[in-house]
Amino acid sequence: MERPQVVAHRGSSATNAEHTLGAYVAALDEGADALECDVRLTADGHLVCVHDRNVRRTAYRDGVVSTMELAELEELDFAAWKNPWADLDDEAPEVDPELNKVLTMRRLLETAADYPRRVELAIETKHPTRYAGLVERRLVDLLDEFGWAGKDSPVRIMSFSWVALRRVRRIAPHLDVVYLMDGPTQWARLRPIAEPSWIAGPGINLLRDHPEVIRRISKSGTRVHCWTVNTEKDIDLCIDLGIEAVITDNPGAAIRYLDG
């Protein structure tokens, strides 16, 4: 079996502010095979890479993404929370402010497309949201601009919502989809609904607590991707259970361990 694909969770987010361009450039420099991101829709219809419904945690401002326009979000610093004392550190390296702004989905796709090797993307659409299926439709339309909405696309769509994944497959039947889950019975309940090609996406706690469930899913021929895998012990568990891709906050460390 080949080593698992190493997927950078929100970029190289252990050491960089998540979902910033700086975090994704760092992940690529560390050799990440793929980039993971969350996507939300702004009030004026732009797709942005933000995990939380409210930007309070990452931008020091109380604001709901779906009610804000892109221009408002672009005024915010999405990286200061990671190193709040940087302005007082005389030895801190100079950082391009553009690397710390809100990251649009388009910019992330351009970054991956321009990289000199193949870079895959695992894009999670967040639900529930006031825009319902518009998020998936806008995302597929954007992927289509890059030629990435059909066969051999480097992109897969992930969600905890099976409704969202069925929506994706209706409008882009060749895209891979990953059903995210954190309970031991979720995959069994999904099987009558899901197509055989759907990928299972358990969290690492599910692997630790119910390895027999994951082994059974993997042995059935289903592809399995796991989040968020941050220790060598957990990487070993993923290998033992036949996990195809590990989503990690520290892609550089994961690659060094797997290839060492």
Comparison of pLDDT for 254 and 86, the residue scoring more = 254
pLDDT band at 1 (very low <50, low <70, confident <90, very high): low
- pLDDT (average), residues 196-219: 98
Q: How confident is the model at residue 46 (pLDDT cuts 50, 70, 90)?
A: very high
Task: Give the pLDDT score at 93.
Answer: 62
> Cα separation of 98 and 95, whole Å?
8
- At 95, is the pLDDT very low, low, confident or very high (cuts 50, 70, 90)? low
Alpha-carbon distance of 23 to 35, in angstroms, equals 10
Residue with more model confidence, 218 or 131: 218
Between the two ends of the chain, the Cα-to-Cα distance in Å is: 16
CA distances from 244 to 3, 174, 222 (A): 8, 19, 10
Among the residue ranges 63-72, 91-100, 132-141, 211-220, the one predicted with the least confidence is: 91-100
- The stretch 161-167 carries a mean pLDDT of 96
Q: How high is the pLDDT of residue 98? A: 80
pLDDT of residue 97: 76
Q: What is the pLDDT of residue 128?
A: 82
130 confidence band (pLDDT: 50, 70, 90): confident
Q: Which DSSP symbol is given to 39?
A: E
pLDDT (average), residues 242-255: 98
Which pLDDT tens digit goes with each residue over 61-90? Answer: 999 999 999 999 999 999 988 876 555 455
**pLDDT of 152 higher than 70:** yes
Any idea which residues carry the catalytic annotation?
9, 51
Sign of the CA dihedral running 12, 13, 14, 17: positive
**Res. 228: pLDDT tops 90:** yes
Residue 125 has φ and ψ, to the nearest 5°, of -90, 130
Q: For 107-133, what is the mean pLDDT?
A: 94
Task: Look at residue 92 in the predicted model and tell me its pLDDT.
Answer: 58
Q: What is the three-class DSSP state of 47?
A: strand
Mean pLDDT of 27-43: 98
pLDDT mean over 30-55 = 98
| pLDDT of amino acid 221 | 96
126: pLDDT strictly greater than 60: yes
3-state DSSP assignment of residue 63: coil
The one-letter amino acid code at 242 reads: G
Instruction: Using CA atoms of 39, 48, 50, 243 in order, give the dihedral in degrees to the nearest 10.
Output: 40
pLDDT of 47 > 80? The answer is yes
CATH 3.40.710.10 given to domain 5-53+103-259:
no
Computed over every residue of the chain, the mean pLDDT equals 95
Residues 6+ apart with CB under 8 A from 222: 187, 196, 198, 199, 200
